[in-house]
């Protein structure tokens, strides 16, 4: 005898494969099927006694089951595959539910089917409208309680009255923080093949005060996410066969879009969360979002340290800047920072490399400042220094000391700075730079040197007033 179908399904084998799934999948599969239909009401009734749960899901769809064979044929054709705004696609959900059940009953407008120890039985009894699926399944009390907790997470469609044991479950609209349209990957059937494509959809973002948060597919929670928001995508999400695994690349896009629309709500505490890092590494992230994240984490004064210009790093820190290093961000995030030109380097703001700056011939006032600088260095440190005057950039520091050389940046200081060679400003700058003979701005030796040198100069003025005569 010839058989039309190539394969047969071993229900026990199917149960062995999926029997360990979290029992919450049972209601998710049954409810999402009801939500996909033209209904105004969906009622869930749950009972538990001595390790057995009795679960029923009932709706008021005028048509009921469109095809009663879908209750027992896996992967059969379904119109839902061609509609991105329907949750169903594999036509396997009820079968997985039935295979882990001890008994099951499907009552609909097309008839009734019973699954029990004796097999599958079809009866003629029909409902006037809607469908009702009832199952008995082995379940611990803990699993039963988790089932109820999971149902309370659902976000029912606005036009559907959603009931659990005769109590209504309302939508969580009061927690809706943002709702926006964007283009995301989805999957629909084209030319008899399930295909991933991009499509504009609505994304609803909720802010609830609870420990766990989820990504939803049109009101049905799919999986827990490491995010402070609950995110509901209003079209099919690309999923694995178990309907519990979301592609990392898809979640990355979602996080980026959420941050693009929510960055103004970031705080210092949540700006460093994992989902934010994932979001700012995505190609679709915008400049304002990345800039806000950086400011929330590091403040307004942030700069990238140039390891080849350590003096500029020291100057940046002394001016109250937060210096970030290469290892603080991943490659993708650095790419966004460079693309949007969000951070300057320490050399950009405090560049001290005067190697290529043209040296100028000092005027008489500059020569007097140079002689005073050398005199203080010799008397206090017992060292000989050189003094240069250069035309450095306006973005560079006013002066630099290193390798026993003191360099003044005329472009930044201006010629008028030297018009009074013996002034508070000139002495202050000389001491500030010569102090680096003992250390950098952030080192205690540097600050101890400054105070000691200032005290020494005061005593020197008392004991030898002519010390400050510069000619």
Q: Is residue 1 part of a domain?
A: no
The pLDDT, as a whole number, for residue 75 is: 42
Closest by Cα among 90, 366, 52 to 239? 90
Q: Are residues 21 and 147 in the same domain?
A: yes
Give the pLDDT score at 93.
56
Same domain, 159 and 27: yes
Last residue of a domain, one of 110, 140, 171: 171
Neighbours of 397 (CB within 10 A): 20
Alpha helices for 177-285 (secondary structure H):
248-262, 274-280
Is the pLDDT score of 73 beyond 70?
no
**Which of the two residues, 230 and 128, has the higher pLDDT score?**
230
Q: What is the DSSP string of 413-466?
A: H-GGGGSSSSSHHHHHHHHHHHGGGT--TTSHHHHHHHHHHHHHHHHHHHH-GG
Chain CA centroid to CA 442, Å: 34
Mean pLDDT (whole number) for 307-330: 84
- Tell me, yes or no, whether 120 and 70 share the same domain: yes
Cα–Cα distances in angstroms (integers) from residue 114 to residues 34, 48, 57, 96, 216, in the given order: 19, 21, 15, 15, 32
Query: In sequence order, what are the residues at sequence separation of 6 or more whose Cβ sits closer than 8 angstroms to the Cβ of residue 341?
Result: none
* pLDDT of 74: 42
327 occurs within a structural domain: no
- Structural domain boundaries enclosing 444: 364-468
Residue 145 lies in a domain: yes
Percent of the chain with pLDDT over 90: 54
pLDDT over 90 (residue 18): no
Same-domain check for residues 162 and 182 = no
- What value does the mean pLDDT take over residues 172-178? 95
Helix axes 364-376, 424-434, angle to 10 degrees: 50
Q: Are 55 and 137 in contact (CB under 8 A)?
A: yes
pLDDT score at 282:
95
**Same domain for 439 and 395?**
yes
359 part of a folded domain: no
* Residue 197 · residue 176 · CB < 8 Å: no
**Of 217, 245, 271, which one is at a domain's C-terminal end?**
271
**Neighbour-count burial for 88-99, b at 16+ CB within 10 Å, e otherwise:** bbbbbbbbbbbb
Q: How far is CA 214 from the centre of its chain?
A: 14
In this prediction, residues 12-38 reach a mean pLDDT of: 76
Strands (E), 170-309: 176-190, 193-206, 213-217, 220-225, 230-233, 302-304
Distance CA 329, CA 100 (A): 47
In a domain, 454, yes or no: yes
CATH value at residue 93: 3.30.565.10
The three-state secondary structure class of 298 is helix
Please give the pLDDT value at position 242.
63
Residue 64's nearest CA partner among 38, 82, 95 is 38
152 and 22, same structural domain? Answer: yes
Q: Which residue has the higher pLDDT, 62 or 2?
A: 62
Please tell me whether residues 82 and 210 are part of one structural domain: no
**Global confidence as pTM:** 0.76
- Is pLDDT at 44 greater than 50 in this prediction? yes
The answer to whether residues 15 and 137 belong to one domain is yes
pLDDT tens, residue by residue, 242-260: 667 899 999 999 999 999 9
Q: Give a yes or no: residue 108 inside a domain.
A: yes
Asked whether residue 347 is domain-assigned, the answer is no
Which residue, among 106, 210, 204, has the nearest Cα to 153 in the 3D structure?
Answer: 210
Task: Specify the number of domains making up the chain.
Answer: 3
Which of helix, strand or coil describes residue 226?
Answer: coil
Same domain, yes or no: 40 and 124? yes
Q: Where are the beta strands (DSSP E) in 291-444?
A: 302-304, 322-324, 386-390, 399-402, 405-409
Q: Please calculate the CA angle 112-136-145 and round it to the nearest 5 degrees.
A: 135
Do 132 and 219 have their domain in common?
no
In sequence order, which residues have a C-beta less than 8 Å from that of residue 297 and are 6 or more positions away?
Answer: 268, 271, 272
Residue 358 belongs to a domain:
no
Q: Which is more confident, 63 or 147?
A: 147
pLDDT category at 223 given cuts 50, 70, 90 is very high
Cα distance between residue 66 and residue 337, in whole Å = 53
pLDDT the model gives residue 2 = 53
pLDDT for residue 172 is more than 60: yes
> For 436-466, what is each residue's pLDDT tens digit?
888 878 778 889 999 999 999 999 889 998 8
Q: Tell whether 382 and 443 lie within a shared domain.
A: yes
Mean pLDDT score across all residues of the chain? 87
Domain end (from 136, 155, 171): 171
From CA 270, how far away is CA 213, in angstroms rounded? 15
201 in Cβ contact with 182 (< 8 Å):
yes
């Amino acid at each position: 005898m010839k058989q039309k179908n190539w394969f047969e399904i071993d229900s026990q084998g199917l149960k062995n494969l999926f029997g360990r799934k979290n029992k919450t999948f049972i209601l998710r599969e049954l409810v999402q099927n009801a939500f996909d239909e033209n209904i105004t009401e969906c009622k869930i009734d749950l009972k538990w006694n001595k390790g057995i749960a009795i679960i029923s899901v009932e709706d008021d769809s005028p048509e009921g089951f469109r095809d009663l064979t879908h209750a027992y044929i896996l992967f059969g054709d379904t119109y839902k595959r061609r509609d991105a705004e329907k949750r169903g696609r594999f036509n396997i959900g009820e079968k997985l539910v039935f295979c882990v059940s001890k008994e099951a009953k499907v009552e609909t407008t097309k008839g009734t089917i019973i699954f029990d120890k004796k097999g599958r039985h079809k009866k003629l009894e029909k409902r006037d409208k809607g469908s009702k699926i009832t199952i008995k399944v082995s379940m611990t009390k803990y699993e039963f309680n988790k089932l109820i907790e999971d149902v309370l997470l659902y976000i029912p469609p606005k036009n559907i009255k959603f009931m659990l044991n005769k109590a209504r479950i309302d939508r969580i609209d009061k927690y809706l923080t943002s709702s926006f349209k964007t283009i995301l990957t989805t999957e629909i059937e084209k030319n008899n093949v399930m295909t991933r494509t991009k499509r504009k959809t609505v994304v609803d973002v909720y802010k609830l005060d609870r420990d766990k948060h989820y990504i939803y597919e049109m009101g049905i929670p799919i999986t827990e996410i490491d995010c402070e928001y609950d995110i509901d995508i209003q079209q099919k999400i690309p999923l694995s066969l178990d309907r519990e695994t979301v592609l990392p690349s898809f979640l990355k896009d979602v996080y980026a879009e959420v941050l693009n629309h929510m960055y103004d709500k970031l705080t210092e505490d949540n700006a460093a969360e994992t989902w934010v890092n994932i979001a700012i590494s995505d190609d679709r992230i915008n400049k304002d979002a990345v800039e806000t994240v950086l400011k929330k984490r590091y403040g307004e004064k942030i700069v990238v340290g140039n390891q080849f210009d350590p003096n500029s790093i020291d100057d940046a820190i002394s001016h109250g800047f937060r210096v970030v290093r290469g290892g603080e961000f991943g490659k993708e995030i650095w790419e966004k920072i460079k693309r949007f030109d969000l951070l300057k380097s320490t050399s950009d703001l405090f560049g001290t490399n005067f190697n290529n700056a043209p040296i100028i011939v000092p005027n008489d006032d500059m020569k007097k400042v140079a002689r005073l600088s050398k005199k203080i260095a010799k008397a206090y440190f017992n060292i000989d220094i050189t003094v240069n005057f250069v035309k450095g950039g306006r973005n560079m520091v006013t002066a630099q000391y290193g390798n026993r050389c003191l360099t003044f940046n005329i472009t930044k200081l201006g010629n008028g700075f030297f018009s009074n060679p013996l002034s508070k400003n000139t002495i202050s700058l000389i001491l500030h730079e010569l102090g680096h003979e003992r250390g950098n701005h952030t080192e205690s030796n540097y600050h101890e040197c400054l105070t000691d040198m200032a005290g020494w100069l005061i005593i020197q003025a008392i004991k030898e007033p002519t010390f400050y005569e510069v000619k």
